[in-house]
Structure 1
Amino acid sequence: MSNQQLVTFLQKNWEAAGFSTPSLIQSEVYEPITDGKNLVGVAPTGSGKTLAYLLPLLNKLKHKEANQLLILTSSQELAMQVVEVTRVWLKGSDLQVLPLIGGANIKRQQDGLKKKPEVIIGTPGRVMELMTSKKLKSHQFKTVVFDEVDQLIQGQNLQLIQRILKSVPQTVQRLYFSATADKVLSEIQQIDNDLVVVDVSKTDKSQGEVTHFYLEISERKKVDSLRRLLNLPAFWGLLFFNQLNDLGAAEQKLLFHKLPVASLASDQNKQLRKQAIDKLKKHQLVGLLTTDIASRGLDVEAMPFVVNVDFPKTEESYLHRAGRVGRMGNEGIVISFVTTQELAGAKKIAKKLGITLEEVYLYGGMLTTEKPEKTEIKNKKKKSKVKRRK
């Protein structure tokens, strides 16, 4: 793929973005997508998967032909992120994109459909609802993209995906993307078996250096340690919890200490969630407390830290959380709080992922990989970066 293969407005946007060469996944899938192949695309988090499918598909769009492209995502946050990216790349054209997500005003979405947008981006429930009511003409679609497909084929989403696939024409092009799609390939092939698999997860080198640490800590000291981390001068990032109750309790305590934090949770309305993400991107927060809802697709430029306040329950969860840092060549640090009882399980998950977990200590207002003697702690000056063992 080269920018010369793109239509004029995409070429200009490519140059405006300062891109020189496409990432590996973008190069590998461009021709098969352009040729109308059905495929599964697998690439690491932060390797440019969204643009990998967007560029060849936007390049094929025809003006004033409604509903040519449908992109389904696993969450409202990911849908809006893809909408933002799509709008940037459609600059200079007359093509339109419309988000169809749950929690938003459905009447406004119905009015938006009357304007015949070429691109629809949404969550399965709302898309199916509008297809069922005949407001969204499913027979018009030429391509359907399933972003974070491993999430889309779980639970209730799977039934919705199967219904959507039955609603669109049999000739529709089908594209499935995720960093961990290879782990659910057999499940994908059960609903769709005519697929080319493009997997660059072993050869892609676009991810920057990400260092993985663990902080051994008791359950009752987690929030206090989190408060101390958030007070480090250069700290800002995502703070992951496994349970909403624990997230809410931690947020209250941190706000009591007047720390600029917010939460991103599934029980919040769309506006609150958007505000929280925007504040983090503008560096108005030092920490955004969340669950795995933010582990997919949330792209915050050059964010330095991810903290697993609760250690992830699965390899996939760790991989996607950690994927919020080190994106497109940037460096990042992942710190996991673990209790003594959790340590063996945490190391087992890290080993399966090919990750080395190094112990880190939080003493005297600094992070260090060298355990300081108690007599030395008082003399430590506050530092915000990890001091590495020589």
Structure 2
Amino acid sequence: MSEFKLPEKWQQRWDEEGFTTPSLIQESVYRPLIEGESLVGISPTGSGKTLSYLLPTMQNVQLNEGNQLLILTSSQELGIQVAEVARQWGKDLGLNVQPFIGGANVKRQIEKLKTKPEVLIGTPGRIVELIKQKKIKSHQLKTIIFDEADQLFLPGASHLVEEIIKSLQQEVQLGFFSATADQALAAIQAIKPEIQVIDVTKEDQSKGVVKHTYLVYPSRRLVDGLRRLANIEGFQGLVFFNQLQDLGSAEEKLLFHHLRVASLASDQSKDLRKMSLELFRQGKIVELLTTDVASRGLDIAELPYVVNAEVPLTKESYLHRAGRVGRMGASGQVVTIVQENTLPRLKKLARELDLTIEEVFLHGGALLDEQPEKEIHQPKERKPLKQTEPKVKHEAVKSNTKPKVKNRKKAQKNKGARKRKEK
């Protein structure tokens, strides 16, 4: 018998949202989390990890007792998304949910903290800042969830996580979630040596059919390839770049061609990033150009395409980018643009991830599975010339006789004979 049992108000929302049965990760971590246990939750991208930790932990929050549940996210976009989901479900229980992410006005956030929200969602840098200012009551926290845990323990971010944990004055419940959380397992076990690991990756069946493909296209004509993809009927895709400068150059050229594209980059303001993402979700943009900043946790319903403008640098990067399609049973396609010298690297990534990857062809405004036959241009038949009589050139008939000179004056007649006589 399933232990996944929701409060009556949530059961109604669950039905209205169109959910039928919980995903494997949602069912597997529900009881341990609701009982206050610490754990590592690992499941494929798009398998419902956000609700898997929100639903049990929010039920343990007590109304009007201040900061109790903290959810740390690896990016601003993920923080905003998690906050939206938490607010939807939290309002049914009367919970005050507030986001505290970098890039937002810190003074306004401090004002929001005066309302004593029970649920906090934030990025590590901003949370550390507010704890140091003693605006967040870290001694009141009972549970901390680390979303995209492997990213949070990367160099440059791990020291912030350590500061947050050191600020705690009591033993708290810890939850670490990611599709690749095993990458950070050593760092997690250094904090919590005996932590239980729940990995449902091999058993999970929630992922839809995702087709992995590659398109051979010259690097110097990359923008032309993206332009042609954008003009395919029904196309909409996240386009990933490895370098921020390449993204900016491509966006400028595509906008010059009046294509409906936008970018989502780390050097943009929070409001601009939020607007680009919202326009993309509304279908008003066909290509959203980004880097790995958008590869983690973003949920875009029934997104049909992910395009790698170049081969991702790591297998983890490929896995998380590809995870933007095929979420919760939807189908999708990943297209990686390669050249002859980069194709071996892509095939190596595919072997490491145990993926079947096939070539596709961009032709006639569509992506084809088979190479189109080349059109053979036959030379045009020449019209026969009209038969005409050959022109005969009338050449003068040569003769040994000198032509007679007419009208010669008398004085000149027999001139030669007179000269002989004079001699």
Q: TM-score, normalised by structure 2?
A: 0.87
2:40 match: secondary structure: strand
Distance 2:53 2:156 in 1: 25
Distance 2:376 2:62 in 1: 68
2:289 match: secondary structure: strand
User: Are 1:129 and 2:117 matched, yes or no?
Assistant: no
What are the ranges of 5 or more consecutive residues in structure 2 without an aligned counterpart? 378-423
**Contact in 1 for aligned 2:139/2:170 (Cα 8 Å):** no
Tell me by how many angstroms 1:17 deviates.
Answer: 1.2
Tell me by how many angstroms 1:216 deviates.
Answer: 1.2
User: Which of 317-326 and 181-190 deviates more?
Assistant: 181-190
Instruction: Tell me the equivalent position of 1:287.
Output: 287
Distance 1:47 1:23 in 2: 7
1:174 match: secondary structure: strand
**Contact in 2 for aligned 1:71/1:144 (Cα 8 Å):** yes
Tell me by how many angstroms 1:7 deviates.
Answer: 2.4
Amino acid at match of 1:28: S
Instruction: Tell me the equivalent position of 2:99.
Output: 99
Tell me by how many angstroms 1:282 deviates.
Answer: 0.3
Instruction: Tell me the equivalent position of 2:368.
Output: 368
CA-to-aligned-CA distance 1:311-347 (integer Å, 9 cap, x gap): 1100000000000000000000000001111111110
Instruction: Tell me the equivalent position of 1:49.
Output: 49
Amino acid at match of 2:157: N
Instruction: Tell me the equivalent position of 1:247.
Output: 247
User: Are 1:358 and 2:345 matched, yes or no?
Assistant: no
Distance 1:316 1:170 in 2: 34
**Contact in 1 for aligned 2:326/2:332 (Cα 8 Å):** yes
Tell me by how many angstroms 1:273 deviates.
Answer: 0.2
Change (3 A) 1:271 1:376: farther
Instruction: Tell me the equivalent position of 2:408.
Output: none
User: Are 1:209 and 2:209 matched, yes or no?
Assistant: yes
The count of aligned residue pairs is 377
**Contact in 2 for aligned 1:141/1:169 (Cα 8 Å):** no
**Contact in 1 for aligned 2:239/2:308 (Cα 8 Å):** yes
Tell me by how many angstroms 1:376 deviates.
Answer: 7.6
CA-to-aligned-CA distance 1:68-106 (integer Å, 9 cap, x gap): 100000000000010011111123332111101111011
Tell me by how many angstroms 1:34 deviates.
Answer: 1.1
Amino acid at match of 1:58: M
Distance 1:10 1:110 in 2: 30
Tell me by how many angstroms 1:184 deviates.
Answer: 2.4
Tell me by how many angstroms 1:367 deviates.
Answer: 1.1
Tell me by how many angstroms 1:187 deviates.
Answer: 2.5
User: Are 1:23 and 2:28 matched, yes or no?
Assistant: no
Distance 1:367 1:177 in 2: 36
Tell me by how many angstroms 1:181 deviates.
Answer: 0.6
Distance 2:370 2:376 in 1: 12
Q: Which is greater in Rg?
A: 2
Distance 1:224 1:184 in 2: 39
Change (3 A) 1:143 1:232: same
1:1-390 aligned at under 5 Å gives the runs 5-375=5-375
Q: TM-score, normalised by structure 1?
A: 0.94
CA-to-aligned-CA distance 1:37-68 (integer Å, 9 cap, x gap): 11000000000000000000111121111111
User: Which of 57-66 and 109-118 deviates more?
Assistant: 57-66
Distance 2:19 2:3 in 1: 9
Tell me by how many angstroms 1:3 deviates.
Answer: 8.8
1:372 match: secondary structure: coil
**Contact in 2 for aligned 1:4/1:11 (Cα 8 Å):** no
Distance 2:194 2:137 in 1: 24
**Contact in 2 for aligned 1:144/1:172 (Cα 8 Å):** yes
Aligned alpha-carbon RMSD (Å): 1.4
**Contact in 2 for aligned 1:29/1:41 (Cα 8 Å):** yes
Distance 1:376 1:119 in 2: 67
Instruction: Tell me the equivalent position of 2:402.
Output: none
Distance 1:352 1:60 in 2: 40
**Contact in 2 for aligned 1:9/1:91 (Cα 8 Å):** no
CA-to-aligned-CA distance 1:273-327 (integer Å, 9 cap, x gap): 0000000100000010000000001110001000000211000000000000000
Distance 2:247 2:14 in 1: 40
Distance 1:4 1:360 in 2: 43
Amino acid at match of 1:270: K
Distance 2:376 2:362 in 1: 13
Distance 1:63 1:209 in 2: 42
**Contact in 2 for aligned 1:2/1:21 (Cα 8 Å):** no
Distance 1:204 1:270 in 2: 34
Tell me by how many angstroms 1:237 deviates.
Answer: 1.3
